[in-house]
Amino acid sequence: MEEQDQMQSSIEVEELEEQQQREGKRLEEENVVRFLDSLDSYVTLLDSLSSTLRQGWLELASARQSMGASRINGALLDLKFHSAATSLQVTHHDDEILNQPHFTLCKWASSKNGYGDEKLRENKLQTNSDGPQLRHRSQFAEKIPETKGAPLIVDDQVQKERTKSLSMFGTLVSPKLRAAQLSFETALETLVEIANVRLTMLSTSDQVRKELEGTEG
């Protein structure tokens, strides 16, 4: 009877160990897949950034050709002190799995009129995270922001901020210059996404390496 009990318990222990091994292997594979996914996104985003920047530079050259070299040149950039139209916020996750910072771009946030128009660029890879500690409403959200008024007002404000930043080249600028501005704006958003994806990639790479070292040990 005691032997049967001992056999039963050893079988249970073996089964438990097998289950833990399977679980460990599953987690390992999950981390590897997550790493490869983030690597793929990283490479794709780098390619996207490169083509967006190329397009932006060509549009700027095209605007220069259209408006003239005296209207589009570095000597017109404004050296007066002014608040940044766009800022980067760094927040930290509470997640135990991904203990890493998260970058959020706040575009066209003007401190003068308090209409801080903030744009949230969600990192689509971070589906397991609880999200950053600070929540920012996207300017393109369907819900009407409680403190910001209708989306139309927000879009008008963004348009005004864009026009204001281009005003150093004059108030009547070519559509090509506006297109160049949009391209560089997109490139900036892509850069922030790249930063977030890179953090995920490095974090999952560390985990995979630790697991491999643990297995070899």
- CA–CA dist 150, 102 (Å, integer): 28
- The answer to whether 183 and 59 have CB atoms below 8 angstroms apart is yes
Q: Where are the beta strands (DSSP E) in the chain?
A: 87-92, 101-106
For position 152 contacting another protein by CB under 8 A, the verdict is no
- The answer to whether 191 and 49 have CB atoms below 8 angstroms apart is yes
For position 75 contacting another protein by CB under 8 A, the verdict is yes
* Nearer to another protein among residue 102 and residue 176 (C-beta): 176
For position 64 contacting another protein by CB under 8 A, the verdict is yes
* Nearer to another protein among residue 68 and residue 214 (C-beta): 68
Residues from 174 through 193 that contact another protein (CB under 8 A): 174-176, 179
CA-nearest of 156, 164, 202, 205 to 181 is 164
- CA–CA dist 70, 172 (Å, integer): 14
* Nearer to another protein among residue 58 and residue 191 (C-beta): 58
- The answer to whether 85 and 110 have CB atoms below 8 angstroms apart is yes
For position 72 contacting another protein by CB under 8 A, the verdict is no
Minimum Å distance from CB 50 to another protein? Answer: 11
Binding site for another protein (CB under 8 A): 54, 57-58, 61-62, 64-66, 68-71, 73, 75-80, 159, 163, 167-168, 170-176, 179
